[in-house]
Amino acid sequence: MMSLGEEIRGHLPFLRRYARALTGSQQHGDNFVHTTLEVIVAAPDEFRTGPDTRIDLYRNFHRIWESAYLDDGEGADEEEEDPLVRAANRRLARITPLGRQMLLLTALEGFSVAETARITGTDAATVETLLGEAAGDIDREARTSVLIIEDEPLIAMELEQIVRGLGHDVAGIATTHEDAVAAFENSDAGLVLADIQLADGSSGIDAVQDILAVAPVPAIFITAFPERLLTGHCVEPTFLISKPFRENTVRAAISQSLLFTPELAA
């Protein structure tokens, strides 16, 4: 029989992914995950294990988030020093936090409507309603220009179609580190979609780091091995999509990342 720690361990990378996307910060997201684990360790008998371990883990996280973050949105701007978080707080105040959370649970984490209802302590009808409202909010969001860094032509083409279908422009498609930085410097890109491994053996992460030295734009990484970048032990991506991806996953990730762009969130 597995211990509680063993039951939970395999789900932690993906809970980190969710928490980072929800907060727009690796540090803040990982802190919420750490707090969730502390609560579980303090009262292990209250945590159910078995087939629903992942649902119960996210449910416990939801309780921490609900009690500690963006309870009413009032006063957050004055107390928060980080301008990105202040801007995101203002934007989130106009979007149903619970609906946004449900969108990420279903689109990014792959939970069903019924599972999302269990995690959030609601019911399927409420989830469906709030998901519809969140989708409407996305449709009304400001548009941007997206630089795609991807060396596989078919995947790059699919990403381009998704980005354009969401109403955004495509600033360009780059296949190597050097091309990506040059393409960004010669564009008005406000968002980067980057594969981790590029054609010439270079790293999409390194390319994005050089891009961020030019301008602080949000970046979404795409990889077939997300757990390798969700350890919580070093500087890692805030927004991460798993391959193979679905259109709805890319849509949710783009929308959430843009919440943390000052000029779009103000």
> Are 36 and 112 members of one domain?
yes
173, 150 contact by CB (below 8 A): yes
Peptide bond into 244 cis (omega under 30): yes
Residue that finishes a domain, picked among 120, 139, 158? 139
Query: What does the block give as tokens for 256?
Result: 């959430």
pLDDT in tens, 46-95: 887 667 899 999 999 999 988 875 444 444 455 556 666 666 565 555 44
**Domain tally for the chain?**
2
Tokens 């689109």 locate to 107
Indicate if 30 and 71 belong to the same structural domain: yes
Dist CA 32 CA 29 (whole Å): 5
Instruction: Name the domain boundary from 139, 164, 199.
Output: 139
Give per-residue pLDDT as tens, 196-230. 988 788 889 999 999 999 998 999 999 999 988 99
CATH of the domain at 12: 1.20.140.160
Which pLDDT tens digit goes with each residue over 2-53?
Answer: 677 888 999 999 999 999 999 888 998 999 999 999 999 998 888 876 678 9
Which of 122, 139, 156 corresponds to the end of one domain? 139
Token match 């795409």: residue?
Answer: 222
Percentage of the chain exceeding pLDDT 70: 86
Whether 155 and 116 map to the same domain: the answer is: no
Residues 104, 200, single domain; the answer is no
Q: How many CB atoms are closer than 10 A to CB 258? A: 23
Residue 261 phi, psi (nearest 5): -100, 115
Residues 63 and 33 occupy one common structural domain: yes
**Strands laid side by side in the 219-223 sheet:** 169-174, 145-149, 191-195, 219-223, 239-242
- Average pLDDT of the chain? 86
CATH of the domain at 214: 3.40.50.2300
10/125 same-domain check: yes
Q: How far apart are CA 258 and CA 145, in angstroms?
A: 11
Only one residue has tokens 């701007």, namely 77
For residues 100 and 114, state if they share a domain: yes
Does residue 149 share a domain with residue 63? no
User: Quick one: CA dihedral 189, 161, 105, 264, positive or negative?
Assistant: positive
Domain that holds residue 221: 145-265
The pLDDT assigned to 152 comes to 93
169, 260: one domain: yes
